[in-house]
Chains A and B, each alone.
Chain A
């Protein structure tokens, strides 16, 4: 009996067969080349250029074909699933601070043997970039491409309006606090703050540099004890939290993490100062095109023991299960070569990981930028990466929640930190075998 429904269902079945068998055929390319898989997300707007760079690599290495895959959204979940399924890409773009979470002994290739074999010049790299992934003399699993330290962005127009002198190297925490208070205004008198004096990142990674600058630390050098509840740490945390709690010198919305619109708001003149990584530079430059604000960057204010500057970087790792380690190493060398790194960093306003580019006059005196690149290098040389130990994840998770509670006035920071330290010490002991103890930082 003829039945429209049966027909529809049959058609549907045929469509499925078609897609599975015809449309989805695996395209096997048999050209004898070695296929390298690269997982990297180029910055938005840079995709075409990146493909051109990869094409250049293929031209100079005719026996290799690069298959480039992107993973927007949750990048590290994709990396984890690929690793557990043993189908990971050969070369992966990684953030320095994630490297140690990945049990690098088991999952990432140690590049040191190849570095030694090829006489690769590691000295050309800023040391702090290699430290970001806790590299040592024998173990280098990560090669940084670009990285940045913390800087202080400030709005020159607002400073002029308030008759304040611009931030400079002599600024201390007190100067910073006073300026933030003076720059906070309720312009139209409606009881809501329209102009925020400053924005200080209230997430855990933004708070730790202030602790350093006050003489404290997240963990001790052997990575066996968490020091977040020590007086130096508490003092530093109270300082930045009071900016919001007591002095109301920050914008309400920018409490937890750096949310959308911070840099745009800065560019429209509603924020006086931002203490953040230099990754905000291209965004402020973009947003500032319409508003003609005058702005600059300076070093973050001095604390008792230094400035609150932390370093974060991104670069390349090679999967330890790769079938073509030498070719993968060639790709990494290419992507980090002088020429490619220079183009990549200049186009995207990143700070390169090589001294020969970063310290060059070309970089430090770029004509197309209104800010002083010297500050970027100065900040980088004074910076320090986070303690990227294996237990960082669980510690940072608790730390973040504790900060939130204290900032909202729900609890006192000392009691919260005591709780955090208790859990952190347990986590540190559990994972002590995974840590690579560093004996202090050897700066350039």
Chain B
């Protein structure tokens, strides 16, 4: 009897996932496998690929530019905890049932939808050291702003700051909002009756109840932090100055399309994938424990 039930659940499981899985296999998994296979070839896109075995990988491990971009990516990812905290803070604020709260939700969400090439060009101009908005505003309070995007020291913080500014009211805030909406109000009522302070309610009720969302956001941030964030680098700094903002996705892109080293780019993507996989696994094992369902 139990065997039959398990079999039926298996069958149901397969059926439910079939449409998605078919499409996923063909349009997502297949190109990824192709990209991995290309890592063992040398390909300039315009002529036939040549098999070179592990040639790309040996080159990769001694390539200073690759490790430099890896380092840059890690630095750029240090903004993640800050961004998550900011999103949570905003979500808590707009979760209140005050009048007109929808207006604030929309306003905070605005910077993240206002995106695209136009906005990135705007930020590049804002960071212009001589005539840009930021340094003009700083000069009103007597600070002589540096060359934000042209200085090796300031370029990465400038990108991090821009990322947090435009992203904090964005998708993460919405996710947290949805999660906060799902917390059972009875839990809070019970805590109130026990006389718990706001902080204790937050720490012992809110945080654990939204932990699946936190986990999701953190996982996605790690994944997209390692392999994403291409547009801002491309438009705002072009990887400079002196290669100090070249992150992994930009380096891979440049190798694939500007230096005609598609095979090498694929091998870098493969190594990157391995790194992200390990990071996600660690996050899963360790973070998964902290998630309460």
Contact = CB atoms under 8 A, between A and B. Distances in A.
A370 interface: no
B144 A192 contact: yes
B129 A394 contact: no
Interface string A243-258: 0000000011101110
Contacts of B130: 192-193, 251-253, 265
Contacts of B241: 255-256, 404, 408
Contacts of A361: none
A441 interface: no
A103 B125 CA distance: 37
Contact of B45 (A80, A193, A260): A80
Contacts, number: 79
A259 B147 contact: no
A259 B124 contact: yes
A410 interface: yes
Interface in A247-292: 251-253, 255-257, 259-261, 265
B260 A259 contact: no
Interface string A77-117: 10010011000000000000000011100110000000000
Given A253-B128, A404-B242, A106 B258 contact: no
B257 A77 contact: yes
Contact of B46 (A84, A400, A405, A408): A84
A191 interface: yes
B46 A102 contact: yes
Contacts of A107: 46
A101 B242 contact: no
B147 A255 contact: yes
Contact of A393 (B46, B129, B132, B258): B258
A77 B256 CA distance: 10
Given A84-B45, A252-B147, A260 B124 contact: yes
A252 B145 CA distance: 12
A323 to B, nearest CB: 19
Interface in B211-243: 237-238, 240-243
B113 interface: no
A252 B124 CA distance: 14
Contacts of A76: 257
Contacts of A73: 117
Interface in A15-74: 73-74
A257 B128 CA distance: 13
B205 to A, nearest CB: 30
Contact of B151 (A80, A84, A408): A408
Interface in B119-148: 121, 124-125, 128-132, 139, 144, 147
B41 to A, nearest CB: 14
Contacts of B147: 252-253, 255
Contacts of B47: 103, 106
The binding surface of chain A is classed by DSSP as helix
Nearest to A72: B117
A414 to B, nearest CB: 16
B80 interface: no
A261 B242 contact: no
A252 B129 contact: yes
A345 interface: no
Contacts of B121: 260
Contacts of A437: none
Contacts of B132: 253
B163 interface: no
A257 B117 CA distance: 18
Given A191-B144, A408-B151, A410-B152, A253 B131 contact: yes
B131 A265 contact: yes
B242 A397 contact: no
Contact of B44 (A103, A251, A255): A103
Given A83-B45, A408-B242, A397 B144 contact: no
Contacts of A260: 121, 124-125, 128
Given A255-B147, A255-B150, A256-B241, A397 B254 contact: yes
Contact of A397 (B139, B152, B259): B259
Nearest to A192: B144
Interface string A393-417: 1100100110011001010000000
Contacts of A394: 259
Contacts of A405: 242
Nearest to B243: A401
B244 to A, nearest CB: 9
A261 B132 CA distance: 10
A83 B46 contact: yes
A80 B257 contact: yes
B47 to A, nearest CB: 6
Interface in A165-198: 190-193
A195 to B, nearest CB: 10
A259 B125 CA distance: 9
Contacts of B257: 74, 76-77, 80
Interface in B12-42: none
A35 B124 CA distance: 42
B23 to A, nearest CB: 12
B242 A410 contact: yes
Contacts of A74: 257
B278 to A, nearest CB: 29
A260 B131 CA distance: 11
Interface string B101-129: 00000000000000001000100110011
A405 B241 CA distance: 8
B238 A257 contact: yes
B20 to A, nearest CB: 14
Contact of B242 (A102, A193, A401): A401
A103 B47 CA distance: 8
Given A80-B46, A102-B46, A410-B152, A261 B259 contact: no
Given A256-B241, A408-B151, 15 more contacts: A80-B46, A84-B46, A103-B47, A252-B150, A255-B147, A256-B237, A256-B240, A259-B124, A260-B121, A260-B125, A265-B131, A397-B258, A401-B242, A408-B152, A408-B242
Closest 3 interchain pairs by CB?
A: A404-B242, A405-B242, A404-B241
5 contacts: A106-B46, A190-B139, A255-B150, A256-B240, A408-B152
